[in-house]
């Protein structure tokens, strides 16, 4: 699975988890305690501000930069099993969502708090795929998520890709191709 697709799927899965937990919070909280829903909405707005602030950069975050720098080079394309890789890497998010949703019927506050963290996660990672795509185009490579144990850190494979053909304009009359490094 391409790393950029994995990042997009992570953002969408986090947003889906936040939506599910928010719906459960509103459903369970509105019948018991409307004050919970009001405070939850405030926490979600604060979480959205935190997420937008953390995700405002156009460059890769330091953890992703280290991950890209440590990618293992290979000439062959890896096996593509997106469902297996997503489940293998995102199981903590799935587990937290299921546990928070289950506990919400007894303690709706848990789902409200978990919703805020899912919002922060989704919004703070929302631009990382574009930053990785820019690096791929600049360097002429593609990054893929390597299949590893679910308990080990994520690892990437770097394969040859297509380098972007950028033109440099010294004069408006005649474009010259950028030098290849």
SS3 content of the chain, % helix, strand, coil (to 5): 60, 10, 30
**d(Cα 17, Cα 153) in Å, to the nearest integer?**
22
Flag whether pLDDT at 168 surpasses 80: no
What's the mean pLDDT when you consider all of the chain? 87
What are the tokens at 14? 């986090």
Tens digit of each residue's pLDDT (9 = 90 or more) over 16-71 = 999 999 999 888 876 667 788 889 999 999 999 999 999 998 888 888 999 999 99
Most confident range (mean pLDDT) of 75-84, 122-131, 165-174 is 122-131
**d(Cα 67, Cα 88) in Å, to the nearest integer?**
17
Q: Give pLDDT, residue 174.
A: 55
Residue 142: closest CA among 74, 94, 91: 74
Residue 121: closest CA among 15, 9, 5: 15
Task: Record the pTM.
Answer: 0.82
Q: What percent of the chain has pLDDT over 70?
A: 87
Backbone angles phi, psi at 158, to 5 degrees: -110, 120
The DSSP result for 31-80, as a single string, is HH-HHHHHHHHHHHHHHHHHHHHHT--SSPPHHHHHHHHTPEE-SSPPP-
Q: What is the rounded average pLDDT of the residues 84-107?
A: 93
Q: Give pLDDT, residue 59.
A: 86
pLDDT band of 114, cuts 50, 70, 90: very high
């Amino acid at each position: 699975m391409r790393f950029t697709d994995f990042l997009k799927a992570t953002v969408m899965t986090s947003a889906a988890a936040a939506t599910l937990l928010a719906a459960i919070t509103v459903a369970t909280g509105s019948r018991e305690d409307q004050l919970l829903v009001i405070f939850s909405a405030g926490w979600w707005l604060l979480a959205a501000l935190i997420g937008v602030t953390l995700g405002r950069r156009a460059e890769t975050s330091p953890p992703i930069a280290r991950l890209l720098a440590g990618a293992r080079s290979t000439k062959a394309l890896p096996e593509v099993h997106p469902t297996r890789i997503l489940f293998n890497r995102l199981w903590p998010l799935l587990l937290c969502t299921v546990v928070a949703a289950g506990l919400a019927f007894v303690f709706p506050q848990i789902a409200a708090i978990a919703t805020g963290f899912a919002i922060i996660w989704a919004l703070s990672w929302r631009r990382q795929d574009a930053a990785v795509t820019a690096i791929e185009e600049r360097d002429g490579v593609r990054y893929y998520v390597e299949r590893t144990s679910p308990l080990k850190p994520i690892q990437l494979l770097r394969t040859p890709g297509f380098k972007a053909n950028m033109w440099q304009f010294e004069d408006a009359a005649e474009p010259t191709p950028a030098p290849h490094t």
